Amino acid sequence: MARIEARSRARTRIAAVCTVLFAAALAGCAQVPRNAGATPAPSYASGYFDRAPCVDRIGRCFDATIGGQPVEVIATREEFERLRTQLRALNGGVRDVYWIVRRPLGRAAALDVETVANDFGRAYVGEPREEADVTVYALDGQDLESETEHVASPDVRIGGRPAVVQQETLTQDTLPPGRYAFAIKYLGRANWDRKWVFLTVQ
């Protein structure tokens, strides 16, 4: 089970672990085998580098399910652009979303997030170092119950020590109906990657 953080439309300024971690993690990618062949899906996304295929952090290097449903890539640029326009109007804090859960999810099932390194990315991110971090963005103004916590972030160090960051941790076992974006961060032993996922709770 992943760690779940909450962000409603009214809480877009709350600092959270997933949104502050962009420390340089290229060292783990720099000396891995070259991955020959075509650009993996989503092939229309810019920034792919075959010697460091996870460096753009858009979710190619691991697979995920939410509520038992597969997280699928948005295969065409046209669908991606339509969704991006829609999401920008709903919440400016949501980044480019390349992934989607096609079927509506139940209120409890939506919080069941599972991740695993895939065949493409396992050599680069490694097996899980710890459970995934998930930040929940409520897109329709849903009220999410949460509590503020201060946690150590091992990926960001100040003076040799892990930085302490503030996050809002979800305290409810279900999600209200509506549209959501999830930022799912896979924390591997060698590196990390992240998927931004659009989904609907019924």
Q: Is the pLDDT of residue 183 over 90?
A: yes
Q: Give dist(CA 4, CA 66) in Å, integer.
A: 12
Match 């753009």 to its residue by tokens.
Answer: 56
More confident: 165 or 30: 165
pLDDT at 24: 30
Query: pLDDT, tens digit, for every residue of 62-93?
Result: 999 999 999 999 999 999 999 999 999 999 88
Tokens for 76, please give them. Answer: 């065409």
Mean per-residue pLDDT over the chain, rounded = 81
Q: Is the pLDDT of residue 162 over 70?
A: no
Query: pLDDT, tens digit, for every residue of 2-17?
Result: 666 665 433 322 233 3
Share of the chain above pLDDT 90, in %: 59
More confident: 160 or 34: 160
